[in-house]
Amino acid sequence: CHLIHYLRLSHHLIVLNYLICTFDKLKSVSSEDINITDAIFDGVEVRVFEPPAKRDERLKRSVVYIHGGGWALASARTSLYNNLCRIMAESLNAVVVSVEYRLVPEVCFPEQFHDAFRATKHFLQPDVLAEYSVDPSRIAISGDSAGGNLAAAVCQQLSKDEHLTIRPKLQALIYPVLQAFDFNTPSYQQNMNMPVLPRYVMINYWIDYFNGNYDLAHSLLINNHTALDVGQAVSFRGRLNWTSLLPSSFKKNYKPVIQTTGKAEIIQEIPALLDVRAVPLLAENETLQLQPKTYILTCENDVLRDDGVMYAKRLENAGVEVTLDHFDDCFHGCMIFTIWPTDFSAGIQTRNSYIKWLDENL
């Protein structure tokens, strides 16, 4: 993929996603237990998983799920996410709507956010919920990794929509990526070379999402974009002070990396670095107070661990009921790896804990 990108034969993410989808057959296979259909919600493709109606049951609960993949990879139709959503629908006896948002490089921010928001808002319309026999008071918004980012951003936007009559009861975020302000949190330092998602890969995902220049990667890595002399970042600094938001067990002996002088032109070139639709952790307290009851799953061996922990703390400080479900022996992305040949115990463990929380709270 890197050779193809270097030779400008195609975008390396297109090639990588092609390989993923080639080896992972895309099928819509319904069964006696779950009916799987593809639909269009306000111009956005979705896959809907519906369990059969029970004799004495009128309405079902529901989960809107947004898949991960760095805003650039995977699909609601790949077997890993197809399997996850089918099991969720079966275990919860719930209608699961999996959002097939457009990917980098076809589109960049804010289009992925717009797709996820439009599809979710469409589903929340009373006539659509009635079509799928969904209880309007029992809907969750959920996602993993970049999908967790989109789920959090969608929840924040929905909470500010005065015309919306139906709102989600819960949000459930799986090792979400929530900020591009500080790439030297303890988890970024501790796991900088951790397989699956090293720090430089996460930074490149952000650059791709914002359609930025790879030449900025080193400046982002050392936090030049949020140095003390970068005026645009000043008002956000208190919202992401990990020295006060993280417990000592996570801070360990790591020190903050705060540059005295940096490059304000980075924010001028990529203003989305401070756009809360892309970085939900930087939202103001007034928005956080409006968020629904929240579940956040984090893994120790993950650069994004502290993103989730800090968001949980900020939500708690804003008065939101939060469950932080932390796994000491798990890694980023593990929850979707539950089928052969990548059927890991970490995947089963985290998936069961996530579904258990949804079952008890939705």
Element (H, E) at 50: strand 44-50
Structure tokens given for 362: 């939705």
Strand partners, 301: 331
The single residue of 144, 208, 302, 306 carrying the catalytic annotation is 302
Structure tokens given for 257: 């990396």
**Sign of the C-alpha dihedral, residues 306, 203, 152, 329?**
negative
Residue 345: other Cβ atoms inside 10 A: 12
Residue 271: other Cβ atoms inside 10 A: 12
Q: Are 205 and 72 in contact (CB under 8 A)?
A: yes
Cα–Cα distance between 241 and 314 in angstroms, integer? 10
DSSP 8-state code for residue 243: H
Q: Are 221 and 207 in contact (CB under 8 A)?
A: no
Strand partners, 140: 63, 170
Does the annotation mark 332 as catalytic?
A: yes
Burial class (CB in 10 A: 0-12, 13-18, 19+), 176: buried
Does the annotation mark 219 as catalytic?
A: no
**Sign of the C-alpha dihedral, residues 86, 87, 90, 92?**
negative
Q: Which long-range contacts (CB under 8 A, 24 or more apart) does 325-330 make?
A: 325/295, 325/296, 325/297, 325/298, 325/353, 325/354, 325/357, 326/297, 326/298, 326/299, 326/300, 327/297, 327/298, 327/299, 327/300, 327/353, 328/300, 329/300, 329/301, 330/299, 330/300, 330/301, 330/302
Does the annotation mark 62 as catalytic?
A: no
The single residue of 62, 75, 98, 145 carrying the catalytic annotation is 145
The single residue of 67, 114, 225, 332 carrying the catalytic annotation is 332
Q: Which residues are marked as active site?
A: 145, 302, 332
